[in-house]
Amino acid sequence: MAADLRADVAELKILHSQARRPYVQVFFATQIQNLEKLVANVEAREAASAKEATIPEIQYTNLSNLTWEQDNERVKIQISLEGVEEDKVESKFTEWSFDVKFHDVEGKNYRCTIQKVHKEMDPDACRVVVKPKRVIISLRKLEEEDWKDLHFKEDKSEEESKREPMERLLEMMRNMYDDGDDEMKKTISDAWTTYRSTYKPGFKKPIPPKRR
């Protein structure tokens, strides 16, 4: 694109040199000035794009074989990695995640990251400690609670785990009834009527769908 604009500028300069009337000369001079500014901007963008294209993406080896320990305040992740330099460590901590990168470790780049940890952290108090033959990623717990794992896991409540399959089914039917159209409501009402007619004592009586 810049080459085409430069050709336009060259042609305008020829026309400007051939112009005799003052108004025409001013017109061509203004157009030349505007196009030259546009050429400069386009050339700068093209140069920046070319520079970005020549910078290769950094490749990392993921560190997943971790050992860890904890006390009341911290979770400490131990990584066996020799040759790490402190000024070549890049770390990012949030309330729920961390991403630590080790650059140029004997010619290689390594990375240790967890997208969501077991419990919330204090990111400002987390740190990376470099030892001669290992690295420690020290995570500061927000609350002094025991971590059962490094990774976050959904905990099903006791109440949810003890619920009978029929209860869960009926709750699903209630939700379908509330959100459904008239035909869906009729289908569920008929199913409820059939279930109620065959209901046997000894089973926990379910709650019927709400009628609208």
pLDDT band at 169 (very low <50, low <70, confident <90, very high): low
- Domain 61-140 fold: Immunoglobulin-like (2.60.40)
- 3-state secondary structure at position 188: helix
% of the chain exceeding 70 in pLDDT: 78
b/e map of 20-53 (b: 16 or more CB within 10 Å)?
Answer: eeeeeeeebeeebeebeeebeebeeeeeeeeeee
DSSP-assigned beta bridge partners for residue 187: none
Mean of the per-residue pLDDT values of the chain: 82
pLDDT at 203: 47
Q: Which tokens in the block code for residue 190?
A: 């008929």
- Please give, one letter per residue, the 3-state secondary structure of 75-132: EEEEEECCCCCHHHEEEEECCCCEEEEEEEECCEEEEEEECCECCCECHHHCEEEECC
Secondary structure (DSSP) of 133-160: SEEEEEEEBSS----S-SB--PPPPHHH
Q: Which tokens in the block code for residue 188?
A: 């569920």
Q: pLDDT digit string (tens) for 19-60?
A: 888 887 888 888 888 888 888 888 888 888 777 666 678 899
